[in-house]
Structure 1
Amino acid sequence: MSRTATGTPESGWTDPDCPVARTLDLVGDRWSLLVIRDAMDGARSFTEFQRRTGIARNILTDRLRKLTAHGLLTRHTAPSGRRQEYVLTNAGHDLFPVVVTLRQWGERHAFTSGEAHSTLIDQHGAPVPELAPTSTDGTALDADTTRVQKAR
């Protein structure tokens, strides 16, 4: 039996040997990735996540619980002591390149030419460069130049 990031048993993986499938089982629904995106952008409270996403309260409760159980978010008491805050864990932070890649794909394919959209910028105000996988020698990689080695 497999285990979640927090060490709890996990059953029902879509494809137990595939890292892509396991990742999608954890964060592959629309709302989970939007919660992660907003946590990366500074959202911390239930109210902030709900306001930014427009998600229904019951669905947000479920997603926050799931992301916390799987070790992507952690819950802390806010400095005021009156409510809970959700903060990205290291595993949650590790999704940053995934979110950037989805954003960049969306910029290329989900908007018409000239249509306005938000832009991810670095600390100097410059747009974040295109992310592209490369081999150890710096050669660009794509689906035609890679293959999956199955688990044995």
Structure 2
Amino acid sequence: MQRTNFGDMACSIARTLDVIGEPWSPLILRDVFAGMTRFEQMQADLGISRKVLTERLNHLVGHGILERQPYDRRPRYEYVLTERGAELVQLLMLMTAWGDRWLAGEAGPPVLYRHHACGEISRPELRCAHCGDPMSARDIDLLPGPGAPK
């Protein structure tokens, strides 16, 4: 069965899902962000097959989300976030905030975020880039953009 190519759709959500829409990719990005940059570390943490991890890493490297950097002469590589990848981590942080609110249960969130600038434990929050006010789905209108189909 052939997979739908979401990357060809005139929708930024669909295009993003084409890059990270299967379940392993966000978890791989989470691990790299958390400092697990080597193949063996990720495989052990995720319990993922070598074949699937190799495919996902190649996909993320091919889309400019991760970059391979050699760390010995064999060659072996570690994976680091590119600028694109670091921005995707921001999306994952918002997903985490939702999961912490609605799914963490009695135990509470499994991870806390300490903000470098103030040193306080905080949570990610979506804000308007113009006025700085909090922004939610109930606070916006959807309008056709320049890339909308005609």
In terms of fraction of residues, the more helix-rich structure is: 2
Contact kept in structure 2, 1:14 and 1:21, CA below 8 Å:
yes
Q: Kindly tell me: are residues 77 and 114 of structure 1, through their superposed partners in 2, closer, same or farther at Cα, counting changes over 3 Å?
A: closer
Counterpart Cα distance in 2 of 1:32 and 1:90:
16
Alignment of 1:3-152 (within 5 A): 12-13=5-6, 16-78=9-71, 80-82=72-74, 83-115=76-108, 117-123=110-116, 126-134=120-128, 136-150=130-144, 151=148, 152=150
Contact kept in structure 1, 2:97 and 2:123, CA below 8 Å:
no
Contact kept in structure 1, 2:5 and 2:18, CA below 8 Å:
no
Report how far residue 32 of structure 1 moved: 0.1
State the match for 1:4 in structure 2.
Answer: none
Counterpart Cα distance in 2 of 1:135 and 1:45:
35
Report how far residue 136 of structure 1 moved: 2.1
Q: Kindly tell me: are residues 112 and 25 of structure 1, through their superposed partners in 2, closer, same or farther at Cα, counting changes over 3 Å?
A: same
Contact kept in structure 1, 2:31 and 2:42, CA below 8 Å:
yes
TM-score, length of structure 2 as denominator length: 0.81
Report how far residue 15 of structure 1 moved: 6.2
Contact kept in structure 1, 2:38 and 2:79, CA below 8 Å:
yes
Counterpart Cα distance in 1 of 2:56 and 2:91:
18
Counterpart Cα distance in 1 of 2:95 and 2:22:
13
CA distances 1:5-60 after superposition (whole Å, capped 9, x unpaired): xxxxxx92266111111101110222100111111111221101111212121111
Contact kept in structure 2, 1:135 and 1:141, CA below 8 Å:
no
TM-score, length of structure 1 as denominator length: 0.80
Q: Secondary structure at the match of 1:86?
A: strand
Contact kept in structure 1, 2:67 and 2:81, CA below 8 Å:
yes
- How many residue pairs match? The answer is 141
Deviation beyond 4 Å, 4+ runs, structure 1:
none
Contact kept in structure 2, 1:35 and 1:49, CA below 8 Å:
yes
Q: Kindly tell me: are residues 130 and 94 of structure 1, through their superposed partners in 2, closer, same or farther at Cα, counting changes over 3 Å?
A: closer
Report how far residue 118 of structure 1 moved: 2.5
Structure 1: gaps spanning 5 or more residues: 1-10
Q: Kindly tell me: are residues 54 and 131 of structure 1, through their superposed partners in 2, closer, same or farther at Cα, counting changes over 3 Å?
A: same
Share of identical aligned residues, percent?
A: 31
Q: Secondary structure at the match of 2:67?
A: strand
Counterpart Cα distance in 1 of 2:78 and 2:132:
41
